[in-house]
Amino acid sequence: MKVALVGATGPVGQRFVSLLDGHPFFELAELFASGRSAGKRYFEAANWVLEVPMPEFVKDMKVKFIDEPVESQVVFSALPADVAMDYEASLKNQGKFVFTNASAHRMDDDVPIVVPEVNPDHLEIVSREGFIVANPNCTTAGLVIPLKAIQDAFGLKSVIVVSMQALSGAGFPGVPSLSIVDNLIPHIKNEEAKVRRESRKILGKLKDGKIEQADFTIDARCTRVPVRDGHTEVVFVQTAKPASAEEVIEVFENFSGVPQEMNLPTAPANPIVVRRNQFSPQPFFERMNGGGMSVTVGNVREADIMGITFTLVSHNTIRGAAGGSILNAELAFKIGVL
Ligand SMILES: NC(=O)c1ccc[n+]([C@@H]2O[C@H](COP(=O)([O-])OP(=O)(O)OC[C@H]3O[C@@H](n4cnc5c(N)ncnc54)[C@H](OP(=O)(O)O)[C@@H]3O)[C@@H](O)[C@H]2O)c1
């Protein structure tokens, strides 16, 4: 299938370009961005920030202005939320199938936030006459995978998470260097509320065609740290049934989902990689596990006040953005939603 990419030039757009190079289901046929990039060839428009080279196929492709017509039926979106609000709604009304990274529509009743290992059934609510499927905010994307494993095995009562988020999560040019070198920023605007509400929607149940929020409580503190890629999160979980650290580790190690059963191209063999080491996971070493799609968990132990605590690392522009969105589209393609 030919696909379009809107917001093609930012760090998330670049991940899409890289992950769609030679993709077995999708051919990247159209690129869109702002007036700053429109009319330029991709290599002139994009400030390439990835650790892998720009794919050859995209270098000479012309970037179009987002007001130009989109020909492809399937559209991946990496637009800022304010631009995505009306634009994605208009694509949906034109009958397009939109897979978005933007937060604009995530909490709409007819928009599922899908993580295929966690809630593939939520795809059922979309209309074949045009839809938006979101993937979560990058911090939530890594968090809900181990939470799903715990929810299924022991039940969830409450969750506290503190994130240490990478610079690429702030887009390009992102955080000024003088604000972040030799420093960290102890708050990220709107991020904590997103983690709270998106986690409960994703881990909620589908009932009579509607998504019911899960009933555990969750709070988050989100910080920005001078790491290039890969969000680290320290998590405390109070389970409904008692669980030892060993039991939780076993549940993490055995966790698998629909993308693994279906052998989807972007699915990692192990959605959760476990390190039995108190100094792991570290983003520099673990972010590319499973091609950037695995969540790596370490330092799992029983906590004095909350039940279980662990640390995770998840790649924010792969599992947390472009890779997550492509996995959603692969699932939709395989089950005949596209
Ligand atoms: N970075 C992450 O880790 C991450 C993770 C999850 C979700 N997200 C979300 O994914 C989206 C993209 O993130 P990003 O980090 O790549 O953002 P970014 O660096 O701000 O890039 C945004 C893209 O949108 C285009 N754009 C900006 N304003 C536009 C306008 N008025 N009209 C048309 N195009 C416009 C830009 O084109 P020009 O280059 O031409 O200006 C660029 O291609 C955001 O909604 C973000 O919140 C990001």
* Amino acid 306: pLDDT: 80
Nearest to 13 by CA among 2, 34, 140: 34
Same-domain check for residues 326 and 258: no
Burial 135-174 (b: 16+ CB within 10 A, else e): bbbbbbbbbbbbbbbbbebbebeebbbebbbbbbbbbbeb
Same-domain check for residues 100 and 171: no
Same-domain check for residues 128 and 156: no
CATH number for position 241: 3.30.360.10
Residues (pLDDT < 70) of the chain are none
9-29 confidence digits (pLDDT tens): 999 999 999 999 999 999 999
* Amino acid 305: pLDDT: 85
Q: How far is the CA of 305 from the centre of ligand 1 (A)?
A: 40
* Amino acid 179: pLDDT: 98
Same-domain check for residues 119 and 205: no
Same-domain check for residues 126 and 156: no
* Amino acid 153: pLDDT: 98
**Residue whose CA lies nearest to ligand 1 atom number 41:** 34
* Amino acid 248: pLDDT: 98
Same-domain check for residues 279 and 302: yes
Q: How far is the CA of 135 from the centre of ligand 1 (A)?
A: 15
Counted domains in the chain: 2
185's tokens: 């920023």
Which residue range forms the structural domain that includes residue 33?
Answer: 2-137+322-334
* Amino acid 99: pLDDT: 98
Same-domain check for residues 148 and 236: yes
Same-domain check for residues 298 and 181: yes
Same-domain check for residues 101 and 192: no
Q: How far is the CA of 254 from the centre of ligand 1 (A)?
A: 36
247-293 confidence digits (pLDDT tens): 999 999 999 999 999 999 999 999 999 999 899 999 999 999 999 99
**Residue whose CA lies nearest to ligand 1 atom number 25:** 7
Same-domain check for residues 148 and 18: no
